């Protein structure tokens, strides 16, 4: 019985391009109490592999978090399988604003300690005791109120290229960093203010809403479906869009444009730019913002040192990497000192 991906990304890309069929990029999450994550993980893989589902999925005792791609022709079968699982029946599916058949090239379902790392060890905290969900229309009305505080639960490199107008955007590298910072900064408003949170698809601010309720905040709200669902509703219902810039996404597209505003700058020259790239040096792979002129000048590298490395023969590059641990946490590295205009 096959329980793991067997094709390379290159092989899968060729198959997708040869098939020439439309695929849907989808994300969803659900907090639940899963007794045996390994068995549940294998159950998902067996069923989804037959439907040609690709993506990055995390399973833990606290629930499931999925970003994936499914052939459009198999969507109904995929949805039927979700509905056959009690806590996933009717789960909200965030369908990408911009579709890309190559958004994912492997099916990876991993068992993790948590689906959202939070650094918490409080056994009295119940992640399912969440705050109140609001849709796009309700969110727009809520944030206009004087007693509302809007908080971005994403990381610095995400909010740097796009965020809601007048939102608090913590300068953090990880979700776990933001929890204590926000509680400390807003502690005096636990009784009198409406805490309104948002993130990409809802998974982080849902856990945060439960956490801040646990910490004594009385009026806690969450944008249901996050920025992805907000944008869909704004466009379908012709509502006012209060999000400026791009929404960072965790597949190879890196972002979806929500408004025409460009609120970030190239990390190398300082010119207006909001395009995230990864350094071309595989030993670096730094995530940063780079304009087209700097990409040409720097051979798509973050620094002169990396530019010199990629000019070497491939064997010499491999020799330099040999024996060194290369972090795959590519979304956390935008603090590098080589970037003159970083946030």
Catalytic residues: 199
Handedness of CA 94, 100, 106, 112 (dihedral sign): negative
CATH top class, domain 9-111: alpha beta
- Output the tens digit of pLDDT for each of the chain's 343 residues: 678 788 888 998 999 999 999 999 999 999 999 999 999 999 999 999 999 999 999 999 999 999 999 999 999 999 999 999 999 999 999 888 777 898 899 999 999 999 998 888 888 988 889 999 999 999 999 999 999 999 999 999 999 999 999 999 999 988 989 999 999 999 999 999 999 999 998 999 999 999 999 999 999 999 999 999 999 999 999 999 999 999 998 777 889 999 999 999 999 999 999 999 999 998 888 999 999 999 999 999 999 999 999 999 988 888 888 766 554 444 555 678 889 998 7
pTM: 0.80
The domain locations on the chain are: 9-111, 132-237, 264-343
Label residue 5 exposed, middle or buried (CB < 10 Å: 0-12, 13-18, 19+): middle
Helix ranges restricted to H, the chain: 9-19, 37-50, 75-83, 136-143, 156-159, 175-186, 203-214, 226-237, 292-297, 304-310, 314-321
Distance of CA 245 to the CA centre of its chain: 16
Q: At the fourth CATH level, which superfamily is domain 132-237?
A: Rhodanese-like domain (3.40.250.10)
* 300-339 per-position pLDDT tens digit: 999 999 999 999 998 888 888 876 655 444 455 567 888 9
Q: What are phi and psi of 121, to 5 degrees?
A: -130, 35
């Amino acid at each position: 019985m096959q329980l793991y991906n067997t094709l390379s990304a290159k092989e899968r890309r060729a198959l997708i391009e040869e098939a020439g069929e439309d695929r849907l990029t989808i994300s969803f999450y659900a907090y639940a109490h899963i007794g045996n994550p390994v068995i549940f993980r294998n159950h998902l893989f067996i069923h989804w592999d037959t439907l040609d589902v690709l993506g990055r999925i995390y399973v833990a005792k606290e629930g499931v978090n999925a970003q994936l791609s499914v052939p459009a022709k198999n969507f109904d079968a995929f949805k039927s399988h979700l509905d056959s699982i009690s806590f996933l029946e009717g789960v909200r599916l965030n369908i990408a604003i911009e579709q890309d058949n190559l958004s994912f090239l492997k099916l990876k379902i991993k068992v993790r300690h948590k689906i959202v790392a939070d650094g918490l060890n409080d056994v009295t905290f119940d992640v399912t005791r969440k705050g109140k969900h609001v849709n796009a229309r309700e969110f727009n009305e809520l944030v206009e109120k004087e007693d509302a505080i809007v908080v971005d639960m994403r990381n610095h490199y995400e909010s740097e290229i796009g965020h809601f107008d007048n939102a608090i955007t913590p300068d953090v590298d990880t979700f776990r960093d933001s929890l204590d910072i926000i509680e400390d900064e807003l502690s005096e408003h636990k009784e009198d203010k409406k805490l309104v949170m948002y993130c990409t698809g809802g998974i982080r601010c849902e856990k945060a809403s439960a956490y801040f309720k646990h910490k004594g905040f009385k009026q806690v709200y969450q944008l249901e479906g996050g920025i992805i669902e907000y944008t869909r509703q704004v466009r379908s219902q012709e509502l006012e869009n209060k999000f400026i810039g791009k929404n960072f996404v965790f597949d190879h597209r890196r972002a979806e444009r929500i408004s025409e505003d460009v609120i970030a700058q190239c990390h190398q020259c300082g010119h207006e730019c909001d395009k995230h790239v990864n350094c071309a040096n595989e030993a670096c792979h730094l995530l940063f913002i780079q304009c087209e002129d700097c990409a040409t000048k720097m051979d798509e590298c973050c620094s002169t040192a990396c530019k010199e490395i990629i000019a070497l023969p491939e064997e010499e590059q491999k020799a330099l990497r040999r024996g060194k641990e290369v972090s795959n946490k590519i979304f956390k590295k935008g603090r590098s000192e080589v970037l003159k205009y970083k946030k």
